[in-house]
Amino acid sequence: MGKILLERGNEIQKRILVGLASFDCLTMKQCTSLVYWEVTSSGLSSTQRKLKSMLSSGLIARKKSGDNLFRYFLQTSGIREVEPHINFSPVTGNDRSYLNSSRNDKVIDRIIFDLNEIRKKSGDGIALGRGALRYIKDGKYSAVDGLLGVREGDRTKTVKIYVKIDCPNLAGQKKYIDATKIAHVLKSKIFVVANKFTLQKLGIK
């Protein structure tokens, strides 16, 4: 029983570290959803204990954002721990401010939700956030804010990409066009996170 619990604890830690490396930072609820597929009181309690342990061991750190929520991010020792499990180079969060990180929550929450839907259907999914896409293929995917894939044997098929458009100005239009091109090349669906006005201006129903 002790060995089973240890292996489960290691798996939970790995999922959290991979999530932090991929998304730059996560709230406790987002970590819980990544690990347990949904947010429950028992899941939150378990995640809180694991995060506390990881903070104590120096794998991660946390900072309170402008929305009064703690966001967790990697420390140097956490990077060393997670590197064998990912195919991109993670970075620590020490030099970045997370005071405005709440603006990315809608994208992250949607990616995690879609990932869990794949898992529930017995699929082997993989989710990449801006932390991963910033460095993969020399920034080739920097125009998008997230990517969702499904493993099929030895390969991973991209099924959806995510892009957050804050404003339908020239920069926002260019980002949407670039993201659409990436979706076309990857033969995947595109999910746009934007307010109703921006979606209308971009011609998205």
Domain with CATH 1.10.10.10 in the chain: 2-98
Name which of 75, 82, 63 is nearest 16 in CA terms: 82
Closest CA to 24 of 87, 92, 114: 92
pLDDT of residue 160: 94
The pLDDT assigned to 168 comes to 86
> What is the C-alpha separation between 78 and 186, in angstroms, rounded?
31
Give the separation between CA 122 and CA 113, rounded to whole angstroms: 15
Q: Give, for all 205 residues of the chain, the pLDDT tens digit.
A: 333 334 566 888 999 999 999 998 999 999 999 988 888 888 888 899 999 999 999 999 998 887 888 999 999 999 999 999 888 888 887 555 555 567 788 999 999 999 999 888 877 888 999 888 887 777 788 889 999 988 877 788 899 999 999 888 898 899 999 999 999 999 999 999 988 998 888 888 6
Q: For position 96, what pLDDT does the model report?
A: 59
Residue 4 is predicted with a pLDDT of 38
- Check residue 6 and give its pLDDT: 42
Distances (CA, A) of 89 to 21, 63, 103, 134: 9, 22, 24, 10
The token pair that represents 203 in the structure block: 């011609």
Phi, psi of 181 (to 5 degrees): -65, -40
Q: Determine the CATH number of domain 2-98.
A: 1.10.10.10
Cα–Cα distance measured from residue 6 to residue 2, given in angstroms and rounded to the nearest whole number: 6
167 in Cβ contact with 173 (< 8 Å): no
Q: How high is the pLDDT of residue 9?
A: 67
Number of CB atoms found within 10 A of residue 121's CB: 9
